[in-house]
Amino acid sequence: MASVTISNVGKSFGTMSVLHNINIDIENHEFVVLVGPSGCGKSTLLRMIAGLETVSSGEVRIGERVVNNLPARERDIAMVFQNYALYPHMTSYENMSFSLRLRKRPQAEIDQKVRDAASTLNLLPFLDRSPRQLSGGQRQRVAMGRALVRDAQVFLYDEPLSNLDAKLRVVMRTEIKALHQRLKTTSIYVTHDQIEAMTMADRIVVMNGGRIEQIGSPLDLYDRPANLFVAGFLGSPSMNFLKGQMRRSDRQAFVETEGGMWLPVSPDAAAREGQPVICGIRPEHIAISGDGGVPATVEVVEPTGPNIEVFISLAGQSASAVISERRTFRPGEEIALHWLPEHASVFDPETGQRL
Amino acid sequence: MLKKSLLFWLILSPLVVVILFPFGVMFVTAFRPREELFTYPPTWTFSEFRWANFAEMWVKTNFGRALLNSLYVSVLSTVLAMILSIPAAYALSRYRFPGKRAYRTFLLMTQMMSPIVLVLGLFRMMVTLGLVNTLNSLVLTYAAFNMAFTIWMLQSYFSTIPRDLEEAAWIDGAGHLTSLLRVFLPLAVPAMAVTAIFGFINSWNEFVLALTMIRSSDGFTLPVQIYSQVAGRYQIEWHHVMAATMLATLPVAIVFSWLQRFLIRGMALGAVK
């Protein structure tokens, strides 16, 4: 197992530059998730670490070795592909043992390792089947098994769960995480699904437009997003953004909306009096009561089971709140909203940065 | 369901008749005794299966020699075309290089040209190479003519084999050659088999170039040999001609039916997703 260091890495295809100056230090044993919308460059970055794409500038290091010019087969990494990429003309056993056979390991060792991996992944009954005789979830496990038998320095995952149905995805998510807790192999995981990122990662790297927006632990990113993009990308339903101007009185801070509503925000926000800002508040941080808070109107109510999601109109801007108590709301009902000022972030509408 | 398919067969039947008629005539004529060749009105029946027709024909038309010539030319030209086409098709489907589009268009355009347009030029080229009247001249020209088609065909199949599979092999520790031999080519077997069949049949049936390049009857391939039994003869032994034609079509039919199992084997299924 090894650390992975990515310093000042850039990638361009011809004149088009898709990754700009990427810096990530991934520690030994760490599980890092690269997350972002499609086209943000996360898969390209993973493929550069794997050796499937060339590095245009900067340096990729696995352990102490600079691997920029090392072919994939010499990097000692294992990778799980989005579409599994199982060899269709080989059985599960042959698929999993392929790398060991290439390295001419003794048959007894190959057998031992494949059976160990297969029993970990509950694949023992399927070792003689070819990929087309397996279900999606089983194929996914064989792809994992192929990585597992390797004892590789680093595991790379390229959206491994995106072809599974919703239920199986949740199961496999937990299994991959449990597996990592046991094996502690340094892992880099690419996904566009923010829930996967939040649930699995030790650290999340949020990417957008070929740049890193923020790196941090899941809850850090969730609670203190560095900018509007991260704030909006993580969390479902996503954060409410309300436009207004900064107002301060005593030790308190507010954002005054166009309709003259005063929204309490954290007094630590580094914004001048009167500066145009965006107030960001997560739906689950909003509490609803009959009176005494910020007035709003109920528009649509969506019960999800554990929670009720209430879509509201607040001073002409739309927002949503998620509450867990059982209450009935009528569309058009006047309600009052409360939240703790420290839960409301303030962003600069020009730069998108947190203030 | 049954009614529907009966109806379809009924609609198709004129076509079936047109296709099968020459084969029927060939079959009947090949087995007839010589005296019954020109009975009037023509009939489909004959008094005996005259197997001796084949034996006589074999000796009289020097059939064995022509068969060997045809086999030599068809097998070698197919092998040569495949050996050269596989890397070319792989490069076309996997790599980006300048002039790729132009090259593909060029391949397609050569398919639209009839060999007869080029026959004079090719003949002069073979004269220069000193290959006229040798079977190798046919091996070279057939391979060349087939290659445009085989590259095109292989290329479109190769492109359907997911690149991920090779990448997975590289990560598993395989070099380019190993991944090619152990992952890529086994998956391309169906396409290579089909392409080879087409190449073989093309070479087997080719007539114009064989007639041009080969001057002495020792080197005749089957189509030319059979033609020589008909053209410019005072008396044509039709039962021999038809027996020869039947023997010439049989190997192709056998090869085709043996290899067609590769056509239906969708090996790439289950590779991804």
**Is the pLDDT assigned to residue B270 strictly greater than 60?**
no
Sign of CA dihedral A133, A136, B164, B157: positive
Q: Do A71 and B170 touch (CB under 8 A)?
A: yes
Measure in Å the smallest separation between the Cα of B102 and chain A Cα atoms. Answer: 20
The whole-chain average pLDDT of chain B stands at 86
In a domain, A355, yes or no: no
Is A200 exposed, middle or buried, given 0-12, 13-18 or 19+ CB atoms closer than 10 A?
buried
Kindly provide the ipTM of the predicted complex, given to two decimals. 0.84
Same-domain status, A222 and A315: no
Same-domain status, A112 and A250: no
In a domain, A352, yes or no: no
Name the domain boundary from A233, A253, A278: A233
B273 CB neighbours in chain A (<8 A) are: 83-84, 136, 163
In a domain, A119, yes or no: yes
**Is the pLDDT assigned to residue B266 strictly greater than 60?**
no
What pLDDT does B256 receive?
Answer: 75
B96 CB neighbours in chain A (<8 A) are: none
Q: Residues in chain A with pLDDT < 50?
A: none
What pLDDT does B265 receive?
Answer: 53
In a domain, B7, yes or no: no
CA-atom Rg of chain A in angstroms: 24
Angle (CA) A331-A333-A338 rounded to 5° is 115
Binding-site residues on chain A for chain B (CB distance < 8 A): 50-52, 71-73, 75, 77-79, 81, 83-89, 98-99, 102-103, 130-134, 136, 139, 146, 150, 163
Best residue in B95, B97, B171 for a mutation probing chain A (most A CBs within 10 Å): B171
Name the domain boundary from A195, A215, A233: A233
Nearest residue in chain A measured CA to CA from B185: A89
Same-domain status, A206 and A278: no
Residue A142 tokens, joined: 């064989």
Query: Over the stretch B167-204, which tens digit does the pLDDT of each residue have?
Result: 999 999 998 899 999 999 998 888 888 888 888 988 99
Same-domain status, A149 and A202: yes
- Shortest CB distance from A85 goes to which of B162, B174, B269? B162
- Shortest CB distance from B164 goes to which of A85, A103, A133? A85
**Which residues have a Cβ under 8 Å from the Cβ of B123 and sit 6 or more positions away?**
B132, B212, B213
Query: Over the stretch A245-286, which tens digit does the pLDDT of each residue have?
Result: 999 887 888 998 888 888 999 888 888 888 999 999 999 999
Same-domain status, A196 and A321: no
Same-domain status, A58 and A197: yes
Measured CA to CA, the distance from residue A242 to residue A257 in angstroms comes to 8
Query: Over the stretch A112-165, which tens digit does the pLDDT of each residue have?
Result: 999 999 998 889 999 999 998 998 889 989 999 999 898 889 999 999 998 888
B177 shares contact with chain A (CB less than 8 Å)? no
In a domain, A69, yes or no: yes
Same-domain status, A288 and A325: yes
**Is the pLDDT assigned to residue B124 strictly greater than 90?**
yes
Measured CA to CA, the distance from residue B38 to residue A4 in angstroms comes to 88
CATH of the domain at A219: 3.40.50.300
In a domain, B219, yes or no: yes
Same-domain status, A125 and A166: yes
CA A26 from centroid of its chain's CA atoms = 15
**Terminal C-alpha separation, chain A:** 39
User: Is B239 within 8 Å of B32 (Cβ atoms)?
Assistant: yes
Same-domain status, A224 and A265: no
Q: Verify cis geometry, omega within 30 degrees of 0, for the bond prior to B41.
A: yes
User: Is B197 within 8 Å of B259 (Cβ atoms)?
Assistant: yes
CA-atom Rg of chain B in angstroms: 23
Q: Do A78 and B186 touch (CB under 8 A)?
A: no
Closest of A60, A37, A58 to residue A48, by C-alpha: A60
Domain assignment of residue A77, given as a range: 4-233
Q: How many domains does chain A have?
A: 2
Query: Over the stretch B11-23, which tens digit does the pLDDT of each residue have?
Result: 999 998 998 888 8
Measured CA to CA, the distance from residue A228 to residue A221 in angstroms comes to 12
HSE (side-chain half, CA atoms, 13 Å) at B222: 28
Q: Do A79 and B270 touch (CB under 8 A)?
A: no
In a domain, B148, yes or no: yes
CATH of the domain at A330: 2.40.50.140
More confident residue, B234 or A335: A335
What pLDDT does B116 receive?
Answer: 83
Q: Do B173 and A86 touch (CB under 8 A)?
A: no
Name the domain boundary from A204, A233, A262: A233
**Is the pLDDT assigned to residue B267 strictly greater than 70?**
no
CATH of the domain at B149: 1.10.3720.10
In a domain, A333, yes or no: yes
Q: Do A98 and B164 touch (CB under 8 A)?
A: no
B167 CB neighbours in chain A (<8 A) are: 50, 52, 72, 79, 81, 85
What pLDDT does A355 receive?
Answer: 86
Q: Do A79 and B272 touch (CB under 8 A)?
A: no
Residue A338 φ/ψ, nearest 5 degrees:
-130, 145
pTM: 0.81
Same-domain status, A337 and A211: no
What pLDDT does B261 receive?
Answer: 67
What pLDDT does A279 receive?
Answer: 92
In this structure, the strands spanning A334-338 and A294-303 are antiparallel
Domain assignment of residue B161, given as a range: 63-264
In a domain, B40, yes or no: no
In a domain, A267, yes or no: yes
Measure in Å the smallest separation between the Cα of A239 and chain B Cα atoms. Answer: 34
Residue A118 tokens, joined: 């297969």
A84 CB neighbours in chain B (<8 A) are: 272-273
A131 CB neighbours in chain B (<8 A) are: 270-271
Q: Do A89 and B186 touch (CB under 8 A)?
A: yes
Q: Report DSSP state, residue A353.
A: B
Q: Do B164 and A77 touch (CB under 8 A)?
A: no
**Terminal C-alpha separation, chain B:** 34
Measured CA to CA, the distance from residue A351 to residue A270 in angstroms comes to 14
What pLDDT does B271 receive?
Answer: 40
Q: How many domains does chain B have?
A: 1
Residue A300 φ/ψ, nearest 5 degrees:
-135, 145
A225-231's contacts with Cβ under 8 Å and 24+ in sequence apart are A225/A280, A225/A345, A225/A354, A226/A353, A226/A354, A227/A347, A227/A351, A227/A352, A227/A353, A227/A354, A228/A278, A228/A280, A228/A347, A228/A352, A229/A352, A230/A206, A231/A280, A231/A345, A231/A347, A231/A354
